[in-house]
Copies of this chain bind each other. A is one copy, B any other.
Amino acid sequence: MVLAVDIGGTNFSLALVSGDGKMQKRVTRSTDRTGGAGWMIANILKDSRGLAESNDVTACGISFGGPVNFEAQSIINSTHVAGWDDVMLPKIFKYELGIPAVVDNDANMGALGEFVYGAGKGFRNLVYYNIGTGIGGGIIINKEIYRGSDGNAGELGHVPILPNGPLCDCGNRGCLEALCSGTAIGRRAEEAVSSQPKRGKVIRKSRFGDITAKGVFDAARKGDRLALELVDEICVYLGMGVATSMNAFAPDGIVIGGSVCKAGTVLLRPLREQADRFLMPVHRPHLKVLLAKLGGKSGIMGAAALAMGLKT
């Protein structure tokens, strides 16, 4: 039995996963952002201790929603919660709970989860997009996570699409993330609705009062013209990104995960069409764009798979 931990910006989850890949138990809690990393670590450890002590847990895998120095096994930072800089989370697990632990970023963990248990089962090479607040990428080459020479390969959300496009969190302009992340879709819809107030009535605001990607896809599913125009626009950019990955990596398949993948076929169909349009013809018979099979659990299941590879 391994303990898998998924740390995101708005909540964290813990799960017990048995050797056959079955999730035996799962706990999810909201994050108190004001408490910072200190509050989160204390609460993750408290829950982990409870789960680990009453079960035969031999190792722990952690998926972190932010950049990770895999070689050093430390968090680099978090853009959502303060205090994560240079935190050696696996070492704390080792000292506090007495079990070996390993950490990697959520995009790599999502890729591994889908590769071992999800849409990429049986693949040799896989490209995974984690589309949520931002866009992360995870690459599996020859059945292993590919990290590149500086440890940061697979930054597929920061591929330049529009040279003078909107500003990205990374500081550049027109990155795929700045055009197609959940946040970017919401912002783009907000602009469209305010500039065309007569349209966009079907694109509802969320309970927090803002327009989200979910609102756009829900409206698109009802046939709303403005929402469908927005989805088409997103799929042109996302199709360019997906075609680029296909041309470069020629994987067995591209898997789309993260919260935006909940949009389902209203995203998948036009995305496949655009990816096909931009793809080099030689690859077309092999183009396979799939939605993540594990949905919100890709990352935590990847963390479990990584932990199972650990010697205990």
| Interface residues in chain A, defined as those with a beta carbon under 8 Å from any beta carbon in chain B | 67, 123-125, 137, 139, 141-142, 146-156, 158-160, 163, 170-172, 175, 236, 240, 243-245, 247-252, 277-283, 285-286
Contacts and interface: CB of A to CB of B under 8 A. Distances in A.
B149 A252 contact: yes
Contact of A153 (B67, B156, B175, B248): B248
A160 to B, nearest CB: 4
A170 B252 contact: no
Contact of A250 (B148, B159, B171): B148
Number of identical monomers bound together in the oligomeric complex: 2
Given A160-B244, A244-B159, A280 B148 contact: no
A250 B147 contact: yes
A210 to B, nearest CB: 27
B249 A148 contact: yes
A253 to B, nearest CB: 8
Contacts of A243: 159-160
Q: Which 9 A-B pairs have the closest CB atoms?
A: A148-B250, A153-B250, A158-B280, A160-B278, A155-B247, A150-B286, A149-B252, A160-B240, A159-B244
Contacts of A153: 248-250
Contacts of A280: 152, 155, 158, 170, 172, 175
A141 B146 contact: yes
A160 B241 CA distance: 8
B163 A236 contact: yes
Given A160-B244, A236-B163, A152 B282 contact: yes
Contacts of A240: 160, 163
Given A245-B248, A247-B158, A148 B171 contact: no
Contact of A150 (B146, B156, B163, B250): B250
A232 to B, nearest CB: 12
A172 B252 CA distance: 22
Nearest to A288: B149
27 contacts: A123-B149, A125-B148, A125-B149, A137-B248, A149-B250, A150-B286, A155-B247, A155-B250, A155-B282, A155-B283, A156-B248, A158-B247, A158-B280, A159-B244, A160-B240, A160-B243, A163-B236, A163-B278, A170-B281, A170-B282, A172-B278, A172-B279, A172-B280, A244-B244, A244-B248, A245-B248, A248-B249
Contacts of A244: 159-160, 244, 248
A151 B67 contact: no
Nearest to A245: B248
Given A155-B248, A247-B158, A149 B124 contact: yes
